[in-house]
């Protein structure tokens, strides 16, 4: 399977025969640049897509035709997917060699990503119609966002499969399902303040920021590791923990955007959030190689420059900095002018220009105002913080100038905030996202968003565009402090919950059509991701630095690198070696190893899991094709295959429920259940199809209802 | 209590059919005799007034009148207790009832309808109760062609949970091609229309032009072949089959997979080949690309295409879906005897040179294969046989047993470029039904008519002498009640090894003619149920999901109690309206459970009665069906045929 081209066009812009080219907003062919079609060919492609679109719309019952927003054109070896947005723009993606590979990816995935790419674009740049006056600007923005987005997928097609099949619903977002501590009256007294109360009362309703902060979104994004990994945490708890307003319509988009970034690049850092990290292709041959290399490493160079500056400024603080790898030094010494030319050349040929602005920003030698302080701080806080841990776990380690720090065993800090150097592009200070709050006056607007992390938790702070306090350092510190308190509570709550280590014998997906939420425990992962390290041929352009910093052998804490903070907890292995006797930590580790939230699907090999996902997708397609009259009837299915899959699907008005079990292991439970069933009156209400899933599913379902 | 058994069999005199004040048709004497029932039976006015959709019934509808008896039974129940209770008791007793169902026939007949009598009201309570009890039994339904005019007391009618566009039910090709949910289009690569199921010529012309442009665009710029255009959200799908010089297009909103549609298109294309042969087709178009094939095809060809399309779209025709043949259930010993007789006859006629007679078939009415004569190592493709069956049942049905036919037919899967010659003769049938079995002898030689004729004449005489003809004519297939499997509405059992399937008779009122809209509606409904069940076990490419599968599908009314039924929005079909109009009060809650069971040996698709909620009950029945079918395999399927 191979992506061929992506195109965006707006037929309404052409008024006569002579200006048809005006329709074309973007046309990008993936891969080699030799076979770029001529303008005529491009126009003929969008022409035929339009033709097919209106033809298929016309041959159905009048009004239905307008509701259809996506069409799939299947050729014998190609597929053209097309979606219509904002009632006049078309986005179309062509895929070739569909029948080539064994593990062909179903079109639904591509289709979903087509929607996602639009939604993400809208999130970052606003809707297409915003550019009504200046379509060149739209083309530029599309070039800057859509092409890198799809290029990453082109280079690694598995990207789109690495988040279970729930991705095929692009308008829905995954929610984290923690098993909360049982809220019995006794417990309630003990729990002084819940984490969300802290955020709500101390931050959102606080006098200083009342109405200035629109919303706070808390995500739990644990690292994507393989199931065999000790630190593995099931996917049940991945996703949005909660947000604090009910009228944020863009919640699915912003959530999916984060998940996408996290899964594509494996981590979340400032660069990734600001869209400055992308995959580069494996180097080819000869001259081209050299050129590509410089282009590919352009990001590294920039970072290297930063580092160089940092090093120069801070040699007295960081002796270690001289031990940077040879390659870094080499890159640093490359003449800047040469790099600049190379980037010019490459961006001219590929149309990627995102990095251009970056390098321009760096050409004047930057000065890092916070660098010395933060470095000092990190040096200070590293060991002391651990020492402090042993004495009192609650005290926060936040030095006056710090952006990030550690508390207990946890790392926290801002990823994107005005604390970042203002020499960096403005998106490093506040990321402007186009959000839609239903109750606010103009509905859609650009809001300033700050990103803050606490171990595996990512917090997005959505601020009103007029709220200026966020540029005050003291306010941010205060915010950081309170968030820390809240997150501390949250982790405690999670640790105190029970039953999270027992292996569930079933996997579930619940899609709530009303709230657009997905609850899922189906593991992520695509066949290739686990089977080989193919990704090594692809390097994150930004990787050089991030990897280097993340490397546990390097004694530098990543908090040193202010603009390059990477989200996530400290590398526990290295940590352990440092303080093997830390009592608190061992407890923490025990706790974290306890909360696994795994189910039997996690034990399956990636290939089998992928097959299962394909099967489930097939079930869903079949359900989608159902001719049932949805106005009056609901449908339930119980499917049992000879390979052990037992899948229950139920579709009602408000929910789509999928439960996957292995019926080989189900036999004992059903027998036990038979007995239970007689007495269990509430389960009686459920249909016999559901009941046959076994009592563990029924128990789980009933506990959910409560 | 006075009982009147005759009532059942004589039908309701017209004078008894009165319209109540609310317009309801009543055929229960008690209700009809007085328009003001006393309260002693809890039968207050609301009983009548609640009827939401009162449909005045014309006389020709009286066939279903007894249905209203049943409806009233259930409704009475509903009016007394809460609807929920009523539902519960229905389902509870439902489990018990079926076991009794078969044995209880007589008792039921005896106790069902009380005599029109003055003391009726005193008995009403008892009577209702007893009738209620009976109403839950799945009664043996009317026997086809018999005099008995009653319908099952609980309608074994299954509810329709599907959304059809109404126009579709008219089998007439409607002028408005745009408004139907399924259409077939056949045209030449030059864009000239050949056939369309719906739509007038003027509409089709522009259509085909467009499609042609699109297809050739991809042929030029690719080169690739346009296969499917689908819209995922609304489930609309256009599927194309390029058999240049002929192009075929199917348009469907019925949720069929593109593979299913391709099979249907291929069947249509096969029909065209069967009447033209590929060689002839290519020759016609090689001379002139813009040749208008419509001038070359006969009127009967278009009629046949119409028939095939309606068969595919609206009739219960699982042959294509399952890619298998339906077989006439026939006693195994008789079948062996039949095969032996044919083989002996072939043996006897050594004067017919070998190769003259390729295949011999006896085809029972409704396209059911009864017997096959075939050379060793050769079988006919199911598609070829389907085509032959269609031709016989549509085109040649009007022949009587004195006439015989000698027709060239191309069997596209056997040899698409040549013709085989078929000798077709209907077997005499002395029973009253006018459905006749046909004897088909297939030869590769053009002038073998007389030798085959004499062969057939002798064979028929022999069959008559052996009494086999009578048996063939008498064989009627089987009814659901022949199988001790309760709570099953209908099923299809396919034997994978034999590529044949069986299904019980439709248990519909015999008075509903084959072409009536009610019958069509029923078939379409059943067909859709099966299509949905089948789609749960196959992948998009048509392969079975896994070696063995057991799937249950349940369709039920929405639980939400607060859902008020907005009458203006109701879009029931005529039949539904009729039933609802009579049953008044409450629509029976829908609880349909169907299952698809695939094993390496067989495929079983089964639909339970409405109200069966427990999958175990259904699966138990399914197992009984499967064991029954396996036990009677030699009777139900032709395993080998007469091989020479």
For residue A317, the model assigns a pLDDT of 38
Highest mean pLDDT out of A292-306, A342-356, B502-516? B502-516
By mean pLDDT, which of A632-641, B570-579, B606-615 is the weakest? Answer: B570-579
Contact B556 A636 (CB under 8 A): yes
The C-alpha angle with vertex B581 and arms to B580 and B587, in degrees rounded to 5, equals 25
Residues from chain B that touch A635, judged by Cβ atoms under 8 A, are 553-556
Q: Does A38 touch chain B (CB under 8 A)?
A: no
Q: CA nearest A65 in B: which residue?
A: B234
By mean pLDDT, which of A326-330, A384-388, B196-200, B584-588 is the weakest? Answer: A384-388
**Contacts across the A-B interface (CB distance below 8 Å):** 176
Contact A637 B615 (CB under 8 A): no
For residue B513, the model assigns a pLDDT of 67
Residue B334 has pLDDT above 50, yes or no: yes
By mean pLDDT, which of A198-212, A497-511, A583-597, A690-704 is the weakest? Answer: A583-597
B351 versus A518: the higher-pLDDT residue is A518
Give the pLDDT mean for A78-84: 91
For residue A236, the model assigns a pLDDT of 80
For residue A556, the model assigns a pLDDT of 36
B176 versus B165: the higher-pLDDT residue is B165
Give the pLDDT mean for A117-121: 92
Residue B48 has pLDDT above 60, yes or no: no
Confidence of residue A319 (pLDDT cuts 50, 70, 90): very low
pLDDT digits (tens, 9 = 90+) for A32-46: 766 778 888 889 888
Contact B255 A626 (CB under 8 A): yes
By mean pLDDT, which of A459-463, A702-706, B372-376, B517-521 is the weakest? Answer: A702-706
How many Å lie between the alpha carbon of B234 and the closest alpha carbon of chain A? 7
For residue A208 the two structure tokens come to 């200083």
For residue B578, the model assigns a pLDDT of 55
Residue A82 has pLDDT above 90, yes or no: yes
Residues from chain A that touch B561, judged by Cβ atoms under 8 A, are none
Residues from chain A that touch B526, judged by Cβ atoms under 8 A, are none
CA dist list (Å): A690 to A224, A636, A639, A646, A677: 32, 9, 11, 11, 12
Residues near A382 by beta carbon (within 8 Å), at least 6 away in sequence? A406, A557
For residue A265, the model assigns a pLDDT of 77
Q: Does A111 touch chain B (CB under 8 A)?
A: yes
Closest CA to A375 of A321, A317, A421, A303: A317
Chain centroid to CA A699: how far?
A: 32
Q: CA nearest A52 in B: which residue?
A: B214
* CA–CA gap between residue A160 and residue B102 (Å, rounded): 58
Residues near B46 by beta carbon (within 8 Å), at least 6 away in sequence? B79
The single-letter DSSP state of residue A176 is -
Residue B26 has pLDDT above 50, yes or no: no
Query: To which residue do tokens 């409904």 refer?
Result: B525
By mean pLDDT, which of B98-107, B221-230, B388-397, B412-421 is the weakest? Answer: B98-107
Residues from chain A that touch B225, judged by Cβ atoms under 8 A, are 75-76
How many Å lie between the alpha carbon of B254 and the closest alpha carbon of chain A? 6
Q: What DSSP letter does each residue of B91-112 carry, written as one string?
A: HHHHHHHHHHHTTTHHHHHHHS
**Start-end of H helices in A156-223:** 185-190, 195-197
pLDDT digits (tens, 9 = 90+) for A512-529: 888 888 888 888 765 444
Quick one: angle between helices A39-58 and B201-220, nearest 10? 150
Q: Does B552 touch chain A (CB under 8 A)?
A: yes
pLDDT digits (tens, 9 = 90+) for B453-478: 888 888 888 888 888 888 888 777 78
Residues from chain A that touch B161, judged by Cβ atoms under 8 A, are 628-629, 632-633
Write out residues 599-618 of B within 8 Å (CB-CB) of A: 613-616
pLDDT digits (tens, 9 = 90+) for A328-359: 433 443 344 344 444 445 544 444 444 444 44
pLDDT digits (tens, 9 = 90+) for A122-179: 998 888 888 887 888 889 989 888 888 898 888 878 778 778 888 888 889 988 877 6
**Residue A94, H or E segment:** strand A89-96
- Any idea how long chain A is? 706
Contact B613 A625 (CB under 8 A): no
Work out the mean pLDDT of chain A and round it to a whole number: 69
% residues pLDDT > 90 (chain B): 5
Q: Does A689 touch chain B (CB under 8 A)?
A: yes
- Write out the residue limits of the CATH 3.30.450.30 domain(s) in chain B: 330-476
Q: Does B235 touch chain A (CB under 8 A)?
A: yes
Name which of B255, B541, B561, B576 to mutate to probe chain A: the one with the most chain A Cβ atoms within 10 A of its Cβ. Answer: B255
pLDDT digits (tens, 9 = 90+) for A547-594: 444 443 333 333 333 444 566 554 433 333 333 333 344 444 444 444
Contact B226 A77 (CB under 8 A): no
Q: Which residue among A45, A632, A692 sits closest to B558, beta carbon to beta carbon?
A: A632
Number of other CB atoms surrounding residue B71 within 10 Å: 25
How many Å lie between the alpha carbon of B359 and the closest alpha carbon of chain A? 37
Residues from chain B that touch A692, judged by Cβ atoms under 8 A, are 615
* CA–CA gap between residue A265 and residue A280 (Å, rounded): 12
ipTM associated with this complex: 0.75
Query: To which residue do tokens 């052998």 refer?
Result: A553
Number of other CB atoms surrounding residue B27 within 10 Å: 22
Give the three-state DSSP class for B505: coil
Write out residues 560-589 of B within 8 Å (CB-CB) of A: 560, 569
* CA–CA gap between residue B163 and residue B234 (Å, rounded): 12
Q: CA nearest A635 in B: which residue?
A: B555
Highest mean pLDDT out of A191-195, A233-237, A485-489, B499-503? B499-503
Architecture of domain B330-476: 2-Layer Sandwich (3.30)
Q: Does B228 touch chain A (CB under 8 A)?
A: yes
Confidence of residue B431 (pLDDT cuts 50, 70, 90): low
Chain centroid to CA B326: how far?
A: 12
Q: Does A48 touch chain B (CB under 8 A)?
A: yes
For residue B239, the model assigns a pLDDT of 92
Residues from chain B that touch A684, judged by Cβ atoms under 8 A, are none
Q: Which residue among B178, B221, B546 sits closest to A59, beta carbon to beta carbon?
A: B178
Residue B266 has pLDDT above 90, yes or no: yes
Give the three-state DSSP class for B187: strand
Residue A326 has pLDDT above 80, yes or no: no
Residues from chain B that touch A45, judged by Cβ atoms under 8 A, are 221
For residue A400, the model assigns a pLDDT of 36
Contact A618 B228 (CB under 8 A): no
Give the three-state DSSP class for A366: coil
Q: Which residue among A61, A77, A622 sits closest to B179, beta carbon to beta carbon?
A: A61
Write out residues 59-78 of A within 8 Å (CB-CB) of B: 59-62, 64, 67-78
Contact A59 B251 (CB under 8 A): yes
pLDDT digits (tens, 9 = 90+) for A458-474: 888 888 888 888 888 88
Residue B596 has pLDDT above 70, yes or no: yes
CATH number of A2-155: 3.30.450.70
The single-letter DSSP state of residue A248 is B
Closest CA to B71 of B161, B157, B160, B162: B157
Contact A55 B211 (CB under 8 A): yes
Contact A75 B222 (CB under 8 A): yes
Confidence of residue A684 (pLDDT cuts 50, 70, 90): very low
Give the pLDDT mean for A445-459: 85
* CA–CA gap between residue A193 and residue A204 (Å, rounded): 15
Our CA dihedral for A230, A233, A235, A241, rounded to 10 degrees, sits at: -160
Give the pLDDT mean for A55-64: 65
* CA–CA gap between residue A157 and residue A155 (Å, rounded): 6
Confidence of residue B605 (pLDDT cuts 50, 70, 90): very high
- Write out the residue limits of the CATH 3.30.450.70 domain(s) in chain B: 172-313
By mean pLDDT, which of A439-448, A533-542, A608-617, B423-432 is the weakest? Answer: A533-542
Name which of A645, A688, A692, A705 to mutate to probe chain B: the one with the most chain B Cβ atoms within 10 A of its Cβ. Answer: A688
Confidence of residue A373 (pLDDT cuts 50, 70, 90): very low
For residue B165, the model assigns a pLDDT of 60
How many Å lie between the alpha carbon of A255 and the closest alpha carbon of chain B? 23
Q: Does A654 touch chain B (CB under 8 A)?
A: no
For residue B276, the model assigns a pLDDT of 86
Query: What class is the B172-313 domain?
Result: alpha beta
The answer to whether the beta carbons of residues B109 and B142 sit under 8 Å apart is: no
- Write out the residue limits of the CATH 3.30.450.70 domain(s) in chain A: 2-155
Residue B5 has pLDDT above 60, yes or no: no
Chain centroid to CA B187: how far?
A: 29
Confidence of residue A686 (pLDDT cuts 50, 70, 90): low
Q: Which residue among A55, A62, A68 sits closest to B234, beta carbon to beta carbon?
A: A68
Q: Does A638 touch chain B (CB under 8 A)?
A: yes
Q: Which residue among B225, B536, B559 sits closest to A637, beta carbon to beta carbon?
A: B536
Residues from chain A that touch B235, judged by Cβ atoms under 8 A, are 624-625
For residue A567, the model assigns a pLDDT of 63
Contact B545 A636 (CB under 8 A): no
% residues pLDDT > 70 (chain A): 59
How many Å lie between the alpha carbon of B233 and the closest alpha carbon of chain A? 7
For residue B101 the two structure tokens come to 């169902």
Work out the mean pLDDT of chain B and round it to a whole number: 71
Write out residues 563-622 of A within 8 Å (CB-CB) of B: 615, 618-619, 621-622
By mean pLDDT, which of A271-285, A354-368, A478-492, A660-674 is the weakest? Answer: A354-368
Q: Does B549 touch chain A (CB under 8 A)?
A: yes
Contact B238 A636 (CB under 8 A): no
Confidence of residue B509 (pLDDT cuts 50, 70, 90): low
- Label residue B434 exposed, middle or buried (CB < 10 Å: 0-12, 13-18, 19+): exposed
């Amino acid at each position: 399977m191979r992506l061929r081209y992506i195109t965006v066009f707006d037929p309404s812009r052409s008024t006569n025969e002579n200006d048809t080219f005006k329709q074309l907003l973007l046309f990008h062919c993936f891969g080699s640049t030799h076979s770029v079609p001529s303008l005529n060919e491009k126009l003929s492609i969008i022409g035929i897509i339009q033709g097919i679109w209106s033809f298929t719309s016309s041959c159905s019952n009048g009004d239905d035709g307008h509701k259809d927003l996506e069409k799939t054109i299947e050729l014998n070896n190609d597929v053209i997917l097309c979606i219509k947005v904002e009632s006049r723009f078309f986005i179309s993606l062509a895929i070739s060699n569909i029948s080539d590979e064994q593990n062909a990816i179903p079109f639904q995935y591509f289709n979903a990503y087509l929607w996602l790419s639009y939604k993400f674009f809208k999130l970052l740049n606003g809707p297409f119609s915003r550019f009504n006056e200046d379509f060149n600007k739209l083309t530029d923005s599309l070039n800057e966002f859509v092409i890198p987005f799809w290029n990453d997928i082109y280079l690694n097609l598995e990207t789109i499969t690495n988040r279970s099949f729930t991705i095929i619903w692009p308008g829905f977002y995954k929610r984290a399902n923690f098993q909360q501590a049982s809220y019995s009256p006794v417990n309630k007294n003990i729990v002084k303040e819940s984490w969300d109360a802290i955020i709500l009362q101390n931050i959102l309703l606080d006098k200083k920021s009342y109405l200035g902060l629109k919303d706070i979104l808390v995500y739990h994004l644990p690292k994507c590791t393989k199931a065999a990994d000790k630190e593995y945490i099931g996917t049940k708890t991945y996703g949005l923990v909660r947000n604090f307003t009910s009228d944020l319509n863009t919640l699915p988009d912003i959530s999916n955007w984060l998940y996408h970034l996290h899964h594509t690049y494996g981590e979340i850092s400032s660069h990734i959030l600001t869209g400055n990290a992308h995959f580069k292709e494996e180097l080819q041959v000869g001259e081209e190689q050299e050129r590509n290399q410089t282009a590919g490493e352009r990001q590294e160079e920039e970072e290297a420059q930063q580092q160089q500056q940092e090093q120069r400024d801070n040699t007295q603080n960081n002796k270690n900095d001289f031990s940077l790898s040879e390659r870094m030094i080499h890159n640093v010494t490359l003449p800047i002018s040469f790099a600049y030319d190379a980037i010019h050349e490459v961006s001219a040929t590929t149309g990627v220009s995102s990095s251009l602005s970056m390098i321009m920003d760096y050409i004047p030698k930057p000065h890092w105002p916070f660098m010395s302080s933060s470095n000092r701080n990190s040096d200070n806080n590293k060991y002391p913080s651990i020492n402090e841990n042993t004495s009192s776990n609650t005290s926060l380690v936040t030095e006056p100038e710090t952006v990030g720090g550690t508390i207990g065993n946890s790392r926290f800090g801002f990823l994107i905030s005005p604390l970042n150097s203002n020499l960096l592009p403005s998106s490093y200070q506040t990321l402007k996202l186009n959000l839609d709050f239903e109750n606010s006056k103009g509905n859609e607007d650009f809001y300033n968003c700050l990103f803050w992390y606490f171990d595996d938790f990512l917090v997005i702070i959505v601020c009103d565009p007029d709220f200026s306090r966020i540029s005050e350092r003291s306010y941010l510190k205060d915010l950081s402090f309170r968030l820390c308190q809240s997150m501390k509570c949250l982790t405690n709550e999670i640790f105190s919950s029970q039953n999270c280590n027992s292996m569930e014998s079933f996997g579930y997906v619940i899609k709530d059509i009303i709230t657009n939420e997905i609850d899922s425990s189906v593991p992520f992962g695509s066949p290739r991701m686990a089977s080989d390290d193919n990704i090594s041929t692809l390097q994150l352009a930004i990787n050089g630095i991030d990897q280097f910093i993340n490397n546990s052998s390097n004694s530098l804490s990543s908090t040193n690198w202010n603009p390059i903070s990477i989200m996530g907890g400290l590398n526990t292995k290295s940590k352990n070696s440092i303080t093997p006797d830390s009592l608190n930590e061992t407890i923490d580790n025990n706790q974290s190893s306890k909360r696994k939230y795994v189910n039997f699907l996690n034990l399956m090999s990636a290939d089998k899991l992928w097959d299962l996902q394909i099967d489930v997708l097939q079930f869903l397609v079949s359900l989608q094709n159902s001719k049932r009259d949805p106005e009056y009837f609901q449908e339930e299915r119980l499917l049992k295959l000879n390979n052990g899959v037992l899948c229950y699907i139920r579709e009602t008005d408000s929910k789509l429920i999928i439960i996957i079990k292995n019926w080989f292991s189900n036999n004992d439970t059903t027998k036990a259940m038979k007995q239970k069933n007689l007495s269990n009156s509430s389960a009686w209400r459920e249909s016999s199809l559901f009941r046959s899933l076994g009592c563990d599913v029924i128990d789980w379902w009933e506990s959910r209802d409560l | 209590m006075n009982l009147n058994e005759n009532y059942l069999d004589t039908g309701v005199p017209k004078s008894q059919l009165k319209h109540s004040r609310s317009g309801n048709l009543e055929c229960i004497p008690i209700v009809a005799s007085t328009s003001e029932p006393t309260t002693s039976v809890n039968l207050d006015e609301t009983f009548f007034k609640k009827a939401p959709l009162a449909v005045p019934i014309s006389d020709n509808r009286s066939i279903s009148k007894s249905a209203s008896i049943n409806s009233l039974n259930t409704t009475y129940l509903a009016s007394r207790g809460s609807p929920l209770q009523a539902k519960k008791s229905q389902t509870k007793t439902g489990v018990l009832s079926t076991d009794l169902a078969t044995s209880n026939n007589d008792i039921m007949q005896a106790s069902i309808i009380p005599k029109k009598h003055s003391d009726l009201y005193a008995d009403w309570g008892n009577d209702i109760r007893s009738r209620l009890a009976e109403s839950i039994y799945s009664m043996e339904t009317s026997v086809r062609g018999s005099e008995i005019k009653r319908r099952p007391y609980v309608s074994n009618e299954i509810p329709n949970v599907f959304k059809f566009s109404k126009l579709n039910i008219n089998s007439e090709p409607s002028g408005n091609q745009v408004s139907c949910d399924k259409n077939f289009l056949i045209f030449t690569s030059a864009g000239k229309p050949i056939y369309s199921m719906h739509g007038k010529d003027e509409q089709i012309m522009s259509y085909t032009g467009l499609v042609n442009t699109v297809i050739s665009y991809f042929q030029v710029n690719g080169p690739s072949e346009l296969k499917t255009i689908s819209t995922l959200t609304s489930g609309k799908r256009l599927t194309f089959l390029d058999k240049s010089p002929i192009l075929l297009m199917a348009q469907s909103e019925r949720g069929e997979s593109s593979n299913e549609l391709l099979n249907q298109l291929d069947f249509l294309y096969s029909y065209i080949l069967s009447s033209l042969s590929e060689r002839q087709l290519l020759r016609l178009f090689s001379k002139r690309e813009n040749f208008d094939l419509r001038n070359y095809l006969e009127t009967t060809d278009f009629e046949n295409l119409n028939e095939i399309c309606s068969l595919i779209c609206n009739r219960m025709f699982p042959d294509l879906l399952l890619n298998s043949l339906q077989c006439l259930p026939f006693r195994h010993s008789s079948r062996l005897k039949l095969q032996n007789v044919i083989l002996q006859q072939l043996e006897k006629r050594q004067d017919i040179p070998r190769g003259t007679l390729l295949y011999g078939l006896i085809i029972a009415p409704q396209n059911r294969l009864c017997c096959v004569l075939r050379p060793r190592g050769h079988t006919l493709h199911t598609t070829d046989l389907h085509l032959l069956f269609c031709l016989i049942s549509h085109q040649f049905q009007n022949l009587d047993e004195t006439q015989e036919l000698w027709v060239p037919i191309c069997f596209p899967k056997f040899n698409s470029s040549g013709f085989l010659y078929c000798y077709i003769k209907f077997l005499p049938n002395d029973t009253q039904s006018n459905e006749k079995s046909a004897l088909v002898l297939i030869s590769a030689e053009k002038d073998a008519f007389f030798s085959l004729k004499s062969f057939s004449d002798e064979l028929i005489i022999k069959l008559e002498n052996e009494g086999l003809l009578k048996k063939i004519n008498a064989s009627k297939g089987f009814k659901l009640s022949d199988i001790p499997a309760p709570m099953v509405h209908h099923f299809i059992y396919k034997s994978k090894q034999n590529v044949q399937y069986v299904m019980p008779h439709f248990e519909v009122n015999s008075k509903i003619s084959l072409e009536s809209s009610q019958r069509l509606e029923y078939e379409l409904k059943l067909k859709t149920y099966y299509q949905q069940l089948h789609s749960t076990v196959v992948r998009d490419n048509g392969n079975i999901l896994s070696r063995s599968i057991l799937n249950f599908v349940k369709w039920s009314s929405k639980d939400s109690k607060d859902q008020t039924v907005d009458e203006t929005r109701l879009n029931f079909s005529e039949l539904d309206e009729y039933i609802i109009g009579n049953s008044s009060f409450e629509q029976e809650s829908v609880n349909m459970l169907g299952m698809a069971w695939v094993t390496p040996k067989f495929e079983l698709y089964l639909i339970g009665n409405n109200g069966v909620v427990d999958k175990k009950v259904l699966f138990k029945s399914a197992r009984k069906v499967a064991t029954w079918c396996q036990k009677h395999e030699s009777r139900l399927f032709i395993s080998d045929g007469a091989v020479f």
